[in-house]
Amino acid sequence: MAMRLKQAGSDDFVILERAADLGGTWRDNTYPGCQCDVESNLYSYSFAPSPTWSRTYAPQAEIWDYLRVCAEKFELGKHLRYQHEVHSATWDDAAGRWRIETSRGPFTADVLVAAVGPLSEPSLPSIPGLNEFPGPHFHSAAWDHSVDLTGKRVAVVGTGASAIQLVPRIQPNVAQLYLFQRTPPWVLPHRDRAVRGIARAFYRAVPGWQRLVRSFVYWSRELFVIPFMKPSPNSVPERLARRHLERQVADPELRALLTPRYAIGCKRILISNDYYPAIQQPNVELITDDIREVRGRSIVTAGGREREVDVIILATGFRVTEMPFARRVTGRLGRCLADQWSGSPAAYRGMAVAGFPNFFLLLGPNTGLGHTSVLVMVEAQLRYVMGCLRHLERSGMAVIEVRREAQEAFNADVQSRLRDTVWNAGGCRSWYLDPTGRNTTIWPGMTWPYVRLLRRFDPVAYQLSRRPA
């Protein structure tokens, strides 16, 4: 958002960041093996390409560095306010502005854009006795690098995207690794490789070639989503995943434990070449029993068996559908955003919420993806917000708010389109679903219709007014 504002010649904005540095999820997630699961050329801004990626799928450190390079290139330093955690953002109807309270003082804003990201608040499981565990225990998104895992008995709770990256990295060094699995993931082969120096040089010399590669990756991934529009037990992706599992896991009993009982795509599809080999090593035990409690230094499972461990790592994902920041945002008539959503977030085009004027979300409800880069959605949203700001300026108005009927019609259409997709009818309970059972995370299909939808701002869906005198 800030980069687009700078491109438009605007300097009148601040970026409130609760941490001491920029980077979001790529700053926080520093666990061993952390890497993007979307190709680097697509997991980057189209208006700020990088010819320096070292691998097809960039590691965490490179992505974080890329974001810092972008901030420097667009001169965002003077706009960044680090260690400014937002405690509350309240719409002042009398002034027609937002009043924002932070850990370092108040701010006033004409427009508020929430770019907090869906992977910003770790999901911590409620395990009795966990907080009394005498050894180190931490979430994968808050990796404790002071803890040496060498020769330790380590428990990893969860088998999602973080776990399949970190398990192969720590397995060779630990004495024993207990991997607690609630639901097995579908895993596809990882087509990663080093980007040769000659390719990077060619990207620098011929930028158009990198754009062409990006376009090829984008449309390949758009086609990949087609099988997920309708659940099928014999889809091409599922056949590929089954073949990958059969090739890497010979033991039929272990293979049965690792075979999902839901359609591929219902949960996020993972990619790895070394996860299955790692969990077949002699020092790894896959445990599918539920965890009952942590008792002293032992993890006790539902059957009563105890396993003594030195370190507990929680690879348990994030609070995606809860959107904790919503408790801090208050709109018209003192209405809290979390209360309005009542556990089931909804927004017009995933960005604007009725009753919350001059407020926009990036990667809001139903704009998440399971098949391609979220930056495709983000760039479309940036274009839309900029169009809204231009319209507001040209109209001479100061306050803009989406019409409730427009928001309701949009979300009814999204939910209707999601009904028969694998994300809703795939036979699993995923983090795509909110506490009410509605899918408020995923966009229902290809991204190009959404990009086209947001190409132009649609003033008919909004009501405008002047700032109170």
Q: Where are the domains of the chain?
A: 2-119+319-465, 130-186+232-265+267-314
Note whether 300 and 132 are within 8 A (CB).
Answer: no
pLDDT the model gives residue 324: 84
| Separation CA 151–CA 173 (nearest Å) | 6
Give 108-152 pLDDT, tens digit per residue. 999 999 999 888 889 999 999 999 999 999 999 999 999 999 999
Confidence check: pLDDT of 469 > 80: no
Q: Which residue, 311, 317, 399, 305, is CA-closest to 356?
A: 399
Q: What DSSP state is assigned to residue 318? A: B
| Separation CA 336–CA 331 (nearest Å) | 6
Confidence check: pLDDT of 326 > 80: yes
Give 192-234 pLDDT, tens digit per residue. 999 999 999 999 999 999 999 999 999 999 999 999 988 777 7
Note whether 434 and 344 are within 8 A (CB).
Answer: yes
Long-range contacts of 164-167 (CB under 8 A, 24+ apart): 164/270, 164/272, 164/275, 165/31, 165/32, 165/33, 165/34, 165/35, 165/272, 166/31, 166/32, 166/33, 166/34, 166/140, 166/313, 166/315, 167/275, 167/278, 167/279, 167/284
Which CATH number among 3.10.180.10, 3.50.50.60, 3.60.140.10, 2.40.10.10 corresponds to the domain 2-119+319-465? Answer: 3.50.50.60
Residue 47's pLDDT band (cuts 50, 70, 90):
very high
pLDDT the model gives residue 313: 99
Identical fold, 2-119+319-465 and 130-186+232-265+267-314: yes
Give 150-195 pLDDT, tens digit per residue. 999 999 999 999 999 999 999 999 999 999 999 999 999 999 999 9
Q: Is 129 exposed, middle or buried (0-12, 13-18, 19+ CB in 10 A)?
A: middle
C-alpha to C-alpha distances, 325 to 50, 259, 336, 466, nearest whole angstrom:
32, 36, 11, 28
Give 353-409 pLDDT, tens digit per residue. 999 999 999 999 999 999 999 999 999 999 999 999 999 999 999 999 999 999 999
| CATH class belonging to 130-186+232-265+267-314 | alpha beta
Note whether 442 and 418 are within 8 A (CB).
Answer: yes
